[in-house]
């Protein structure tokens, strides 16, 4: 009886050992831990998990950055390639045209935008739209380095026409309202054309 019981115990012991060894051999050793990512406050994808090929390798973090293109980098060729403007430049121009020319006829608004572009082309002025608009004492709506943000679709369309080559100002570099202008210097400039309430001059 004892011999039969001993044999039974031995049988189960051997099976347990074989099962244990089979489990060890069947477990993959090259498994990797999941590598989870999340976005940090700057919008970057940052790894929050550890991926390891084997125990000898140190934890590795993966980092992916989102690439965005600034509107200032997207240049548009204007006036048959003579100058280049950005989407941001066109927005600033539309704001200036609205501030200086709201209430003026459409042709007059295109002429205001054209004056800015004429200055960009001229060696007498800075060579970017932004620098021309924000030059000291260049345009009365610009105060303390700020330009009013309001605009409308008419002003935007006037800017597009000017960028595409229209110039009702006839190459003017300046414009003024003769009813309010007090500078003798502006009156001394060569006048090119008058459109409603503005005189455009060189």
What are the pLDDT digits (tens) for 17-72? 676 666 566 655 444 444 544 445 444 544 444 443 444 444 444 454 444 445 55
Residue 45, number of CB atoms within 10 A of its CB: 14
Let me know: does 160 contact 91? Beta carbons within 8 Å.
no
CA end-to-end span of the chain: 124
Q: Give the model's confidence band at 76: pLDDT under 50 very low, under 70 low, under 90 confident, else very high.
A: confident
Which residues are CB-neighbours of 91 under 8 A, at least 6 positions away? 71, 151
pLDDT at 79: 73
DSSP state of 6: H
At residue 51, the pLDDT reads: 42
In angstroms, the CA 29 to CA 174 distance is 78
Place 184 in a pLDDT band, splitting at 50, 70 and 90.
Answer: very high
62 DSSP assignment: -
Q: Which two tokens stand for residue 185?
A: 């210097």
pLDDT of residue 50: 41
Closest by Cα among 129, 125, 115, 124 to 83: 129
Residue 134, Cβ density class (10 Å: 0-12 exposed, 13-18 middle, ≥19 buried): middle
Q: What's the pLDDT score for residue 59?
A: 47
In the chain, the domains with their CATH numbers are 35-68 (no CATH), 75-201 (1.10.10.2520)
**Residue-wise pLDDT tens digits, 120-173:** 999 999 999 999 999 999 999 999 899 999 999 999 999 999 999 999 999 999
Q: What is the pLDDT of residue 82?
A: 76
* Helix-helix angle 153-163:87-101, to 10 degrees: 120
Contact 133, 139 (CB under 8 A): yes
- Tens-place pLDDT, residues 78-120: 776 778 899 999 999 999 999 999 999 999 999 999 999 999 9
In the chain, % of residues over pLDDT 70: 62
105 CB-contact burial (10 Å; exposed 0-12 / middle 13-18 / buried 19+): middle
């Amino acid at each position: 009886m004892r011999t039969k019981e001993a044999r039974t115990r031995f049988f189960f012991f051997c099976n347990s050992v074989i099962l244990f060894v089979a489990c060890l051999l069947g477990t993959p050793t090259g498994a990797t831990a999941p590598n989870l990512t999340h976005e940090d406050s700057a919008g970057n994808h940052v790894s929050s998990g550890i991926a390891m090929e084997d125990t000898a390798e140190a934890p590795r973090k993966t980092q992916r950055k989102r690439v965005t293109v600034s509107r200032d980098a997207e240049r548009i060729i204007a006036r048959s390639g003579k100058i280049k403007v950005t989407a941001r430049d066109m927005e600033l121009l539309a704001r200036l045209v609205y501030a200086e020319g709201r209430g003026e006829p459409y042709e007059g608004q295109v002429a205001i935008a054209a004056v800015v572009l004429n200055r960009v082309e001229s060696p007498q002025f800075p060579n970017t739209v932004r620098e021309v608009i924000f030059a000291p004492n260049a345009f009365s709506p610009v105060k303390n380095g700020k330009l009013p943000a309001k605009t409308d679709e008419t002003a935007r369309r006037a800017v597009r026409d000017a960028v595409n080559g229209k110039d009702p100002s006839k190459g003017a570099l300046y414009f003024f309202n003769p009813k309010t202008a007090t500078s003798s210097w502006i009156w001394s400039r060569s006048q090119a054309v008058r459109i409603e309430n503005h005189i455009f001059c060189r």
